[in-house]
Structure 1
Amino acid sequence: MNKVYAIGLDIGGTHITAAIIDIIDMKVLESSLYKESFDSNLPVDQVMDIWEKVIRISLKNSGVETVMGAAVCIPGPFDYEKGICWIKGQSKYEHFYGLSIRDLIKERFSFSDDFPIYFENDAVCFGKGEVYKDKNNLSKIVMAITIGTGLGACFIDKGISINSGSLVPKEGEIYDLPYKKGIAEDYVSARGLLSSYFHLSGTKVANGLELFNLATIGNELAIIAFEKMGEDLAQIVIPWLKNFSVNHFIIGGKIANASAYFLPSFEKKIKESGCEVSVLISTDNEIAALLGASSLLYTL
């Protein structure tokens, strides 16, 4: 079978990663993987200069001459069907509000009007990428989450993302589910961890990495903060694991790197609930996001 390639992009608030994807075998061409950090609040033309540079370097390094489309993993608020950015008041992409990212990319590369460029939410891309990395997962019912500055989620049934209906929460999101005195993301996120540690210790720490470093040197209250987050995560997802009949649960995001401190308490609560679900900690969120985005082109 002839190889078919596409551009995969993982775009965040402070970085862009590009790679060329073999969308027949759903593999990233390792030689093409290229990442650059930048300030997304720069003027549109300057941001697009950076994006263009990264994409062209990725294409050059891949040795691939022809791509049949592009797929973009990008956070919301975003009109994923129309390719329009609606991010505002989040200290990122302030100048992109209301602009068509699809048109901006096409203009930079003189792509034809019918050149396909697809967009998907970053948490959904992560979950779908984890599924497509191992095609055995295509037969499974999967819930995937990302824990970082926020709490992302997606629900996948046999490779298809489900974000509506009675089996999943509204829009497939869990970050805003009512929980304790606020919402889920108040407790399961970087800020949730820092808040928990402050209430336990009376001490403020700068970020999740600092708290992780405290845990690694045996700080008991730091460890307890992670354990409490694991318990909170379980309480939040258990109803949806049952409702969606999940048999495979995947955890990603930067805080997944601290799984040694929150996974035992999470799994204990899951077991006590009677849920029979396998749990996986992702080790390569970025590759998963690129594959997940490119899966939009998989059947074309």
Structure 2
Amino acid sequence: MRPVLEIGGTHVTAALVDLSAGTVHGRPAREPLTPQGGAEEILGRLARAASRLEAPPSATWGVAVPGPFDYAAGVALFQGVGKFDSLYGTDVGAALRARIRPAPAALRFVNDADAFGIGEHTGGAAAGHARAVCLTLGSGVGSAFLVDGMPVNDGPLVPPEGSAHRLVLDGRPLEETVSRRAIRAAYARAQDGDPDDVPDVRGIAARARAGDAPAGTVLAHAFRALGVAMAPWTIRFGAGVLVVGGSISASWDLVVAPLREGLSDGGAAGLRVAPALLPDTASLLGAARWAASSASDEEGSQGVRL
């Protein structure tokens, strides 16, 4: 069994993963997180969730965590991103090794979007594809460019740092068009309303299905834009599939058609598009596989280069 942590914006999940079966063993342990909390509070909750697992002594843990983060060194670089700022400069690896019981032998950190992609390749929608691109749509656009199930975060075939959120569309960052915040703002403009008073994306999707024309138009525009932005990179990378996960992908019936239209307009008409098959466990499986891979080769790097 491989112990893992998945650190999100509002909670941390600890689990034991059976990589041979590709499943999460038993019931995961969860603890709430306050992103604006102090460093000791946050680290304490991470360690509390981990210690509830009764993981094997001296295990190598996989830890999926959002950026900015120095994944090889295990040092937090959160600053000005609205979460975990109190951890800036903290050696999270050393802090957790000192707090988790039984004490880990090591912790291998991986970007949360990369962990999701690795997990989907392990037993989800990207399985069997030598090259795959996996996206997570929610507060932003997370991405993983995978070769044989391992992330590629450098080189000419992927965006800077392998990150779709670094892409620019029509002179603006992609996340100003495709994100929870951007979609809600666009719908508010269409309704001449206040962004704080409009529903979340799930609610906007429900309105679109009920015949609300502005809601349908806003969603179609966002997901077509995503396809246009991703098309040249899927071609350059040679992807066999584009997998979409994250909270926004729960409205897949409204995502898929405009996404395919945008891909087609961008020259990637034949690309296979699929929703994530493991939305709840992919990141856990991916963190476990990353830890196993990193422990075996000790490369200590975040991904591979093409």
Correspondence for 1:107? 98
Q: Which of 43, 54, 79 is the matching residue for 1:88?
A: 79
Correspondence for 2:204? 211
Q: Which of 16, 38, 48 is the matching residue for 2:43?
A: 48
**Where in structure 2 are there 5+ consecutive unaligned residues?**
297-306
How far is the alpha carbon of 1:274 from its aligned partner? 4.5
Counterpart contact for 2:62–2:288, Cα < 8 Å: yes
Correspondence 1:197 to 2:192 = no
Correspondence for 2:27? 32
How far is the alpha carbon of 1:20 from its aligned partner? 0.5
How far is the alpha carbon of 1:93 from its aligned partner? 1.2
Correspondence for 1:12? 8
When residues 216 and 34 of structure 1 are mapped into structure 2, their CA distance, relative to the original with a 3 A threshold, is farther
Q: 1:227-266, CA deviations, whole angstroms, 9 ceiling, x for partnerless residues?
A: 1112101100000111011111100111001121121111
How far is the alpha carbon of 1:210 from its aligned partner? 3.1
Q: 1:55-74, CA deviations, whole angstroms, 9 ceiling, x for partnerless residues?
A: 23233xxxx64462111111
The secondary structure found in structure 1 opposite 2:204 is: helix
Question: 2:33, 2:22 → 1: CA distance?
Answer: 28
Question: 2:292, 2:94 → 1: CA distance?
Answer: 22
**Where in structure 1 are there 5+ consecutive unaligned residues?**
none
Correspondence for 1:289? 283
User: 2:156 is matched by which residue type in structure 1?
Assistant: S
When residues 173 and 46 of structure 1 are mapped into structure 2, their CA distance, relative to the original with a 3 A threshold, is same
Question: 1:70, 1:116 → 2: CA distance?
Answer: 6
Correspondence for 1:166? 156
How far is the alpha carbon of 1:104 from its aligned partner? 1.0
Question: 1:263, 1:65 → 2: CA distance?
Answer: 42
Query: Normalising by the residue count of structure 1, what TM-score does the alignment of the two structures yield?
Result: 0.89
User: 2:169 is matched by which residue type in structure 1?
Assistant: Y
Counterpart contact for 2:51–2:100, Cα < 8 Å: no
Counterpart contact for 2:57–2:103, Cα < 8 Å: no
User: 2:53 is matched by which residue type in structure 1?
Assistant: S
Question: 1:135, 1:46 → 2: CA distance?
Answer: 37
Please give the root-mean-square deviation of Cα atoms over the aligned residues, in Å: 2.1
Identity over aligned residues, as a percent? Answer: 24
Q: 1:36-65, CA deviations, whole angstroms, 9 ceiling, x for partnerless residues?
A: 322132222222332222223233xxxx64
Query: Normalising by the residue count of structure 2, what TM-score does the alignment of the two structures yield?
Result: 0.87
How far is the alpha carbon of 1:98 from its aligned partner? 0.4
How far is the alpha carbon of 1:82 from its aligned partner? 0.3
Question: 1:100, 1:191 → 2: CA distance?
Answer: 31
How far is the alpha carbon of 1:108 from its aligned partner? 0.7
Residues 1-300 of structure 1 mapped to structure 2, 5 A cutoff: 5-29=1-25, 31-59=26-54, 65-66=56-57, 68-109=59-100, 115-134=105-124, 137-204=127-194, 205-271=198-264, 273-299=267-293, 300=296
User: 2:18 is matched by which residue type in structure 1?
Assistant: D
Q: How many residues align?
A: 290
When residues 226 and 271 of structure 1 are mapped into structure 2, their CA distance, relative to the original with a 3 A threshold, is same
Counterpart contact for 2:3–2:15, Cα < 8 Å: yes
